[in-house]
Structure 1
Amino acid sequence: MNKFAYSAFIAFLASIGTLVSVHALSSDDETDGASETRDITLDELAEHASAESCWKAIHGGVYDITDYVPDHPTEEEVILEWCGRESSEAWDNKSPGRPHSPGAERQLENYRIGDLVDDQGEPLSGDVEDTSADAERQDASPAASVSPAEDQRLHRAMLGQPMDGHYRGVFTDRGEIQVNITFDLRDGHLTDVNFRHLAYRGVDYLTLEEGDDLYPVMVQHRRITEWLEGEPLTTIFALYEPARVVDEVDGFSGATLRGAKVISAMRDGLNRGVYSWP
């Protein structure tokens, strides 16, 4: 009996040893898996900006989604635009104001390869300087902002390309119609841009004649329609900076151009939809 008890005791110790070894190996595997992620700088991220190697940074994490690019439900260009850069903005706005789903977030974690850090190794989240071509067009001054004429956020906010057709839109303030404008769209380009009504504080600019004090203001607005002719629809955002569009006329500054009102009238026309078909 003593020999049998001794053999059983040795077998018990062996089984405990096996369990300890398995647990240790399992812990090592988990540690190795966790060590697969590493710190990645913006410069390294920027080196992976193509379909052949597409990395994206989202809220501090870096993800290699190269294998997923062909399976993305939108056109490839949409996702490739964000390769090699900080992409939290795109992730949080799958459509304007609507982020990706929790399911997409879980799927994204399968592609995580590291954490975004600055040159000193400090973590970066989502508010980092954009090193893309759009950012390079900005002024070198830290306080500079993207021009409305070139700001892709404004352009994307137009929610798709309107249909070809004839449009009419108005801008009204305090019950007074100040701008009534018509225009045609052909393949996303503006044609036949004209004012049907243009007034301010009781002055009808379209009835003014050369020599009238405010006639130069009417000339400036006529130059708007000439400048927009044949241009892409998104060109209207340049009117936020009138001096880009129309030079000074007879002492009247570019500020006299109420470009924002013209933009509002045109967008009103777009919101109303096609007035008549071509």
Structure 2
Amino acid sequence: MNKIAYSAFIAFVASLLTLVSVNALSESEREDRDDAGLESITLAELAEHDSAESCWKAIHGRVYDITDYVPDHPTEEEVLLEWCGRESTEGWDNKRPGVPHSPRAEAMLERYLIGRLVDDTGEPLEPGPGEPTGAMPERQAEEATSPAQDERLARALLGLPLDGHYRGVFIDRGSIQVNITFDLRDGHIESLAYRYLAYRGVDYLALEEGDELYPVMLQHRQIAERLEGAPITRIFALYEPASLVDDIDGYSGATLRGAKVISAIRDALNRGVYAWP
């Protein structure tokens, strides 16, 4: 009986290994076949699909139309839309810093495959894992291979934010309240601006002089003006807004809600560089 059971077990394992091997081969063949027949899509064409109505993303050289999936994504829609219309390998490989999306997510992603990313001459564009478009030119990378030679690498190893363009959001109960954009140059803030600023249905960016809450809009403008050229650590002054902005027409620092602006800026830093200078 034991001999029969052992033989049956060996036969089962052999069958299982055969199925796994066949499946692996068929997956490889399917990928090769799909890539050969995929439509070529340039960065310019990709950039035209940057909204919830048409959201395309390029990941590891392939282009995906995830428009139908946007409403079903587990995070806030705005977070996903930040990656529409552009090369998104960095975000895909870093769902959280250093943590890529799961194999299950990869399988789901393949349902939305529509093309391959190419340059203007039709040559494939395929960044390495976590490497964003606009990375250091190959010649420069060869010349700067250590922290002593490569300032970007040195800053990363020290845990310092890299120079570049950043975007971040503060979201509460599924609604964006602050969406901010800024540049970092040698750790200093430049060109800070609001892409979205709202609270309880009020769009502060649309307010005009004479509106009741217009003074609050002026306070937020002061934040952008007074952080210009300041080191990134200056954002912590917003925990005490009166140290950074004026009390315009009797509006208090509490009305300013500076902590939400800090959260949006820190969200941008946590996401990493949106675009390289």
Give the TM bin, normalised by the shorter chain. 0.3 to 0.5
User: Larger C-alpha radius of gyration, 1 or 2?
Assistant: 1
Please report the TM-score for the alignment, with normalisation by the length of structure 1: 0.43
**If the length of structure 2 is used for normalisation, what is the TM-score?**
0.43
